[in-house]
Structure 1
Amino acid sequence: MGILGKLSFKDQTFRLREDAILDATTRILADKGFDLMTMDDVAGEVGISKPILYKHFKSKDDLVGAAMIRLIDGAIDFLEHLPQQETAMGRLRALLAWALRVRLDGGLPFLPSTSPHVREMLTHNLSYVTRVFKLNGILKGLVGEAKKNGDLDAALPDDVILFSYYSRTCDPAVEYLRLYAKLDDERIVAHMLDVCFHGIAARA
């Protein structure tokens, strides 16, 4: 039985509405950004009143923080449900592919990289920071393991690899490939994975 099945009908309704609110928030953030998004936008997108919205989230900062926490939780959950026999390199590739697909579906707003206010707000959100440290720790472990296996360049510092990896999730090439090269989403994901892990130089 899933989590919803253990809740009362009232609690199930509350949880489902909250998910709908976070879905709408993510879509609006991807389209308009933090500064232009309003609570009215979110309430209108979900089809609820602002007082009901404020029962779930008391401010725009709380709402955006919850959306970003859900995103990090999704990444951690994805990693935890990969087959145990998957290699470290396979896990890194799979997570990047997941993140790119979420982004192409409009579900991955890169607010910390585009909004100083959001960066500041998130650094004071303990739940968000805790999850970011957890995800970063998992990925750092995978990078170390992939180095030992000879799948990543052992001469590169871990942070260089990690931040290069993170940057691929917000690389504007994704939008350019969709808009100008007219590539479908799966080809975009495949090419971005190749560029991330193999570069653009000719292979021997």
Structure 2
Amino acid sequence: MSILSKFSFKDQAFKLRENAILDAATAVLGSKGYDLMTMDDVAGAVGISKPSLYKHFKSKEELVGQAMIRLLEGAIEQIGGLPPHFSACEKLEALLEWALRVRLGGGLPFLPSTSPHVRDMLMRNFKYMTRVLKLNRMLESLVKQAQKDGQLDAALPADVILFSYYARTCDPAVEFLQKFSKMADDDIVRHMLRVAFSGIR
């Protein structure tokens, strides 16, 4: 084995373990929240020692920041990968469906909406904020286009629609339905999308 291939294998192994750490952190955040989550929790979930965890992330703040950045990048990638023939409204619906499915799988903790401390911490994270602004621009453009196309109510300010859309991604009804109803995840997603885009009237 060449020195180059050894380094390549080592880099791949490091990246795989980092992704496993981010998966574990996301799951722990979803179940315990930021304040109760510890680095010991994450290390135990991955099956590594805490010193090994600190080789990847120097602090809980850094780890949570990177987990949230990865979620935003996933959303941006989803929008970019949607079929070009989709209308603006279809793209908004497809992204919300993706977010709901990720969330039902325990992979989408919307921490900024529930913790002022986390919100302040993330706002100091330049990489996180650049992703937030990019995603916001993309979604705002889709909302305005959908209004122009007559698919969303043009009488509503675009910000009202946009922030209502964000609220649907962290609607507690999703958890209640998953925990207490007898509906399958597919049915929950279908009904939540109908509520979001057609209302209950």
Deviation beyond 6 Å, 4+ runs, structure 1: none
Which deviations, in whole Å up to 9, do the C-alpha atoms of 1:167-198 show, x marking residues without a partner?
Answer: 00111111121222211101111111111111
Structure 2 partner of 1:16: 16
User: Whole-Å Cα distance in 2 between the matches of residues 102 and 180 of structure 1?
Assistant: 19
Which deviations, in whole Å up to 9, do the C-alpha atoms of 1:68-110 show, x marking residues without a partner?
Answer: 0000000000111111111100000000000000000000011
Structure 2 partner of 1:137: 137
Structure 1 residue matching 2:150: 3-state secondary structure: coil
Structure 2 partner of 1:192: 192
Structure 1 partner of 2:158: 158
User: Whole-Å Cα distance in 1 between the matches of residues 105 and 176 of structure 2?
Assistant: 15
User: Whole-Å Cα distance in 2 between the matches of residues 176 and 48 of structure 1?
Assistant: 33
User: Whole-Å Cα distance in 1 between the matches of residues 31 and 131 of structure 2?
Assistant: 25
User: Whole-Å Cα distance in 2 between the matches of residues 180 and 78 of structure 1?
Assistant: 30
Show the 5 A alignment for 1:1-204: 8-201=8-201
The structural deviation recorded for 1:20 is 0.1
Structure 2 residue matching 1:48: 3-state secondary structure: coil
The CA RMSD over aligned residues, in Å, is 1.1
User: Whole-Å Cα distance in 1 between the matches of residues 125 and 50 of structure 2?
Assistant: 23
Structure 2 residue matching 1:8: 3-state secondary structure: helix
**Which stretches in structure 1 are left out of the alignment for 5+ residues?**
none
Alpha-carbon contact 2:146-2:152 (below 8 Å) kept: yes
User: Whole-Å Cα distance in 2 between the matches of residues 196 and 129 of structure 1?
Assistant: 26
Name the % identity: 67
User: Whole-Å Cα distance in 2 between the matches of residues 179 and 29 of structure 1?
Assistant: 18
Give the number of aligned pairs: 196
Structure 1 residue matching 2:144: 3-state secondary structure: helix
User: Whole-Å Cα distance in 2 between the matches of residues 101 and 74 of structure 1?
Assistant: 13
**Which stretches in structure 2 are left out of the alignment for 5+ residues?**
none
